[in-house]
Amino acid sequence: MLYSLLRPALFSLDPEDAHRLTLASLDVARSLGLLKWLPRATGKPVRVMGIDFPNAVGLAAGLDKDGAHINALADLGFGFIEIGTVTPRPQPGNPTPRLFRLPAAEAIINRMGFNNLGVDNLVKNVQASGYTGVLGINIGKNKDTPNEQAVDDYLACLDKVYPHARYVTVNISSPNTQNLRELQKDEALDALLSAIKLRQSELAQQHGKYVPIALKIAPDLDEAQIAAIAALLMMHRIDAVIATN
């Protein structure tokens, strides 16, 4: 009912402007106590990666890239909220227009390109939110970081988000960052996972808690590629795979 009333107004706007307006409106609605009247996600609790999720309906990364709207989204009852993708340094993402509606398919084409205000800003937002639910943080590399140095970007993000996340997602699957998916190939992925797993162990000792790591993979891998990635995930004892971007 509410969506059918708002849809004409939202569709009169540029998709990216509509996205920003929706999130800002959620924040206002929360401040006025209105979100309690909206339907909430429900379901049975589920335990994954050693984490107890209150229900299996979660919010994937991409909606709230900078973690600026965590509390408003939490009021909708999600079993988890994943923010990001975040990179070490702020970056504007791809040129606009980069978000396109497909009304007949009830879908959107997203070519955003990891636009975000950087990991330091995201951490500040998480701290300010005081959110105590299941929070995933999705990390990536900057567009201008060559793949040969990508590990450094992922480790830089992991160091900063680890204390604040219930799990961390390593995103190597976005088609909107040039050559990012090359990191899914055997040698590159082996090196990345090795470095991530070593740093995870170090951070667990430093912070006194174990934060699971998930790898987010592309949707268009063939069976041989999936098998090769699965073998590396098992070899490096990665906690989970998110299938797919």
Q: What is the pLDDT of residue 5?
A: 76
Say how far residue 226 (Cα) sits from the centre of its chain.
21
Q: Number of folded domains in the chain?
A: 1
Residue in the structure block whose two tokens are 């490096």: 236
Q: What is the pLDDT of residue 10?
A: 84
Residue 214 and residue 169: Cα distance in Å, rounded?
A: 5
Residue 80 and residue 189: Cα distance in Å, rounded?
A: 27
Residue in the structure block whose two tokens are 């900057």: 142
Residue 64 and residue 20: Cα distance in Å, rounded?
A: 10
Contact 147, 183 (CB under 8 A): yes
Active site residue 174: yes
Find the catalytic residue in 4, 129, 173, 174: 174
Task: Give the model confidence (pLDDT) of 66-107 as tens digits.
Answer: 999 999 999 999 999 999 999 999 999 999 999 999 999 989
CATH number of the domain that residue 140 is part of? 3.20.20.70
88: domain range?
2-243
pLDDT in tens, the chain (245 residues): 567 777 888 888 999 999 999 999 999 999 999 998 888 878 899 999 999 999 999 999 999 999 999 999 999 999 999 999 999 999 999 999 999 999 999 899 999 999 999 999 999 999 999 999 999 999 999 999 999 999 999 999 999 999 999 999 999 999 989 899 999 999 999 999 999 999 999 999 999 999 999 999 999 999 999 999 999 999 999 999 999 88
The DSSP result for the chain, as a single string, is -HHHHHHHHHHTS-HHHHHHHHHHHHHHHHHTT-GGGS-------EEETTEEES-S-EE-TTSSTTSSSHHHHHTTT-SEEEEEEE-SS-B--SPSP-EEEEGGGTEEEE---S-BS-HHHHHHHHHHHT--S-EEEEE---TTS-GGGHHHHHHHHHHHHGGG-SEEEEE---TTSTTGGGGGSHHHHHHHHHHHHHHHHHHHHHHTS---EEEEE-TT--HHHHHHHHHHHHHTT-SEEEE--
Identity of the residue numbered 6: L
Whole-model pTM: value is 0.95
Q: What is the pLDDT of residue 2?
A: 64
